[in-house]
Structure 1
Amino acid sequence: MTTSTPQPPAKRSGLRRWLPLGVAAWIVIEIWLLILVGEAAGGLVVLALLAAGIIGGGAVVKRAGRRAFGALTQTLQQPPTAAPRDRAEGNGFLMLAGLLLMIPGLLSDVLGLVLLVPGIRGALSRRVERTMQRKLDEATGGAFGSAYTRARTQRPDGKVVQGEVIREDAPPEPHDEEPHDEEPRDEDRRPPLTP
């Protein structure tokens, strides 16, 4: 009879350990702030603040979505040889700002309003992009990161050129003027060119 020793439970990562506690603390602080404002200014003011946050956040998310779609359309319509135009910088953080405004609570509204400042949003966007590029280079040894950059900047234009491949290593066959009735061989058949 074999006895197995019980395995100790796997250690949880720091994020998995502290994230639920952070979310719970965030919720408690949001409720406490709403109660303080409600006691100081009244329940209607709190309700108006929450409604303004939801409406304003929805407008910001809608604007960020339009900017992202416009940037995508512009990127797809420009020729690949054209210089890349300035892209909408910090669009992801603009979307995050709108979502933070839509979440009921005053602390999330303040963070959303801070992210609406263009300078802060642009700086955060550049920092996140540099961090992600560095981590990508570390994980792949730099090869994948440079290939990703080349793929982002060199897009095929999608043009189709009609043509036929002519092999120069084989001598051209003489063409008879008279039509013959024999069936063409398999190697003489060519697939049709399709547009």
Structure 2
Amino acid sequence: MTTGAPTPTHPARPRRSRLLTYLPLGVAAWLVLEIWLLTMVAGATGGITVFLLLLAALVLGSVVIKQAGRRAFQNLNEALQRGGAPSGSNGGGNGLMMLGGLLLMIPGLISDALGLLLLIPPVQQALGRYAERTVDRKLREATQGTLGGAFQQARMHRPDGKVVQGEVIRDEPSDEPRDPPQGPRPPLTH
């Protein structure tokens, strides 16, 4: 007989992050704002002007993505010819250029403005430095000094945050066959 707290029949659901909670609302608000802005510009200038703006942004975005991809491939070839790893000197710039091109290709004036903003070199450098610092900080927090520590923590904690304790019992090989256990297994206790 055990004298601990009863085991819940329904495991507690892990808590959703704020990003996952508000992301659908943010995307919906962005879409409504894009459509409203396009209709306002179409009402002021005409539908042909809006169509030409969107077409120009699509063409510019595809040219930017093609150029950034070509430059990234060229950097990779040069690094492989030197016999080393690709340098991180412009890797973030190429990625941000591709993101800017993708934002230009998405229909909408707000996404076009953000895409054009990402094509400005000082903005690229500032965002690249910020992203690098953020990734470094998150990696340090996740590993707590060693990568093995992160894997150890991942093994010990269940998704609901509870720690599962137990021990490994290894059977010694024997000549006689074992009988399988009969009936239900006894419950685990703390």
Indicate the larger mover: 135-144 or 38-47.
135-144
The answer for the alignment partner of 1:176 in structure 2 is none
Quote how far apart the aligned CAs of 1:87 are: 3.6
Find the partner of 1:137 among 135, 140, 148: 140
1:31 alignment partner AA: I
Structure 2: gaps spanning 5 or more residues: 1-7, 148-190
Of residues 44, 64, 68, the one that matches 1:64 is: 68
Deviates more, 1:62-71 or 1:4-13: 4-13
Q: Report whether the alignment pairs 1:111 with 2:130.
A: no
Partners of 2:38 and 2:126 in 1: CA distance: 31
* Corresponding letter in the other structure for 2:128: S
1:90 aligned counterpart, secondary structure: helix
Seen in structure 2, the aligned counterparts of structure 1 residues 7 and 52 have a Cα distance that, compared at 3 Å, is same
2:33 aligned with 1:29, yes or no?
yes
Q: Which moved more, 1:123-132 or 1:11-20?
A: 11-20
Cα shift readout 1:122-151 (whole Å, capped 9, x = no counterpart): 11011101211121122123445xxxxxxx
- C-alpha change, 1:96 and 1:86, in structure 2 (3 Å) is closer
Partner of 2:54: 50
Q: 1:8, 1:89 → 2: CA distance?
A: 40
> Identity percentage over the alignment?
53
* Cα-Cα RMSD: 2.3
> CA 1:7/1:85 → structure 2, altered by over 3 Å: closer, same or farther?
closer
Q: Show structure 1 runs of 5+ residues with no match.
A: 145-195
* Inter-partner Cα distance in structure 1 for 2:108 and 2:88: 38
- 1:65/1:37 CA distance change after superposition, 3 Å: same
Does 2:112 align with 1:122?
A: no
Secondary structure of the residue aligned to 1:114 is helix
Report if the CA contact (8 A) 1:64-1:94 is conserved: yes
Residue in 2 that maps onto 1:177: none
Rg bigger for which structure? 1
* TM-score (normalizing by structure 2): 0.66
SS in 2 for 1:12: coil
Paired AA for residue 66 in structure 1 = R
1:142/1:74 Cα in 2 relative to 1: closer, same or farther (>3 Å)?
farther
Q: Distance in 2 between matches of 1:13 and 1:140?
A: 20
The 3-state SS of whatever aligns with 2:16 is coil
Post-superposition CA distance 1:66-105 (Å, at most 9, x none)? 111111111111144x9x6944551111110000000000
1:38–1:46: 8 Å Cα contact kept in structure 2? yes
